[in-house]
Amino acid sequence: MTLAASTTPPIISTPPRTTRIALLGCGGIGTALAQALAEHDGYELTGALVRSVEGRKRPAAVPRLTNSFDEILAQRPDVVVECLGGIEPAASWCERLLESGVSVVSANKLMAAESLDRLARAALRGGAQIRFDAAVCAGVPVLDAVARLRSAGITAVRGVVNGTTQWMLDEVTERKVTVEAALFEAIRLGYAEPDPSADLSGRDSADKLSLLSAAAGFGLVPIAAIAVAGLADARGSLISDDILDFQRWGALRLVAEVTREEVGAPISASVTPTLVARTDALDSIQRRGKRLALAVVELDVVARGRACL
């Protein structure tokens, strides 16, 4: 009796591939990310780029510190996480990485707003990806959500996208303190940067609005084309407390809005303190717990029909 040979191929178990990750910058954010990666399987941190290694204590979760960008490239990472901040040299280094086929992840809204087109072209040339999802609303993937609504025919994106100023306005409303006192307290508690000028001037909101415009399919709006008015003027003087008297009729919010009536139509973009009605979705935004500056955002996405995020 002859047994027929089995035609079923053997099952070969292939171990999951480890993703190699490098960091540009190793401050508070970079160090925290390194620690988080060390606690999860499937990731290998190859090293971190810092300004100087002289006298620098290496975090336990980071295998190597270097001040050479070429060394980071030589480590052949699959993904590089940019934690430097600012525009240059971050943008140039990210461009080189993308052209080399290395994908880049960044929460650097300033670099994204100024250099997104340039970096997107580099990503196409190198067959890599550039992701800025965390640049707006931090861990809430609103850029991806807005991009998924493009086919609905989005005509406007509107929202409160700066948590620092929202926290300040809540303080003024609830505790009846001055704008200056609210700012001092925000800095003391760490809700605002030691230099809060980007938040107060509206520039932070403008950077985020530019990225939201691109996600909505309107194109990246140049920062210079956005009409910006924040809670402080160009000299850094805060808005008058008198304006807050009007909050009995509504809620004061630093509203970022970009609109385009139809494809090819002019784009209008602005960031400005706005008194919103009590029936407005933006009226219900409130701080909730510690450092809600990163989670307080709500967006009103207007399309043919209506969808809210």
Q: Is the predicted pLDDT of residue 138 greater than 90, yes or no?
A: no
Structure tokens at 134: 């965390």
Reduced 3-state DSSP string for 226-269 = CEECCCECCCCCECCHHHHHHHHCCEEEEEEEEECCCCCCCCEE
pLDDT at 192: 83
Q: Are strands 251-259 and 307-308 parallel, antiparallel or unpaired?
A: unpaired
pLDDT at 245: 59
Q: How far is it, in rounded angstroms, from Cα 238 to Cα 231?
A: 6
pTM reported for the whole predicted model: 0.75
Reduced 3-state DSSP string for 154-188 = CCEEEECCCHHHHHHHHHHHHHCCCHHHHHHHHHH
CB 294, CB 286: distance < 8 Å: no
Residue type at 308?
Answer: C
pLDDT at 248: 60
Question: Which residue ranges make up each domain of the chain?
Answer: 19-135, 142-308
Q: Is the predicted pLDDT of residue 287 greater than 80, yes or no?
A: no
Task: Give the residue, 126 or 132, on which the prediction is more confident.
Answer: 126
- Reported as a pLDDT band with limits 50, 70 and 90, residue 297 is very low
Domain 142-308 has CATH 3.30.360.10: yes
**Percentage of the chain surpassing pLDDT 90?**
23
Read off the DSSP letter of residue 223. Answer: G
pLDDT at 271: 94
DSSP H or E segment with residue 48: strand 43-49
pLDDT at 239: 60
Asked, colleague to colleague, whether 19-135 and 142-308 share their fold, the answer is no
pLDDT at 116: 87
- The segment with the largest mean pLDDT, out of 15-19, 71-75, 278-282, is 71-75
Structure tokens at 270: 């602005």
pLDDT at 296: 28
- Reported as a pLDDT band with limits 50, 70 and 90, residue 286 is low
pLDDT at 141: 76
Task: Give the residue, 2 or 206, on which the prediction is more confident.
Answer: 206
Stretch 221-229: mean pLDDT, rounded? Answer: 91
Stretch 210-231: mean pLDDT, rounded? Answer: 89
pLDDT at 242: 57
Task: Give the residue, 228 or 246, on which the prediction is more confident.
Answer: 228
CB 260, CB 215: distance < 8 Å: no
- Reported as a pLDDT band with limits 50, 70 and 90, residue 14 is low
Q: Is the predicted pLDDT of residue 277 greater than 80, yes or no?
A: no
pLDDT at 3: 44
Stretch 110-134: mean pLDDT, rounded? Answer: 90
Q: Is the predicted pLDDT of residue 117 greater than 80, yes or no?
A: yes
Between 12-21, 46-55, 105-114, 155-164, the lowest mean confidence (pLDDT) is in: 12-21
User: Quick one: CATH architecture of 19-135?
Assistant: 3-Layer(aba) Sandwich (3.40)
pLDDT at 247: 57
pLDDT at 129: 93
Give me the chain's average pLDDT, please.
Answer: 79
Stretch 225-242: mean pLDDT, rounded? Answer: 70
- Reported as a pLDDT band with limits 50, 70 and 90, residue 123 is very high
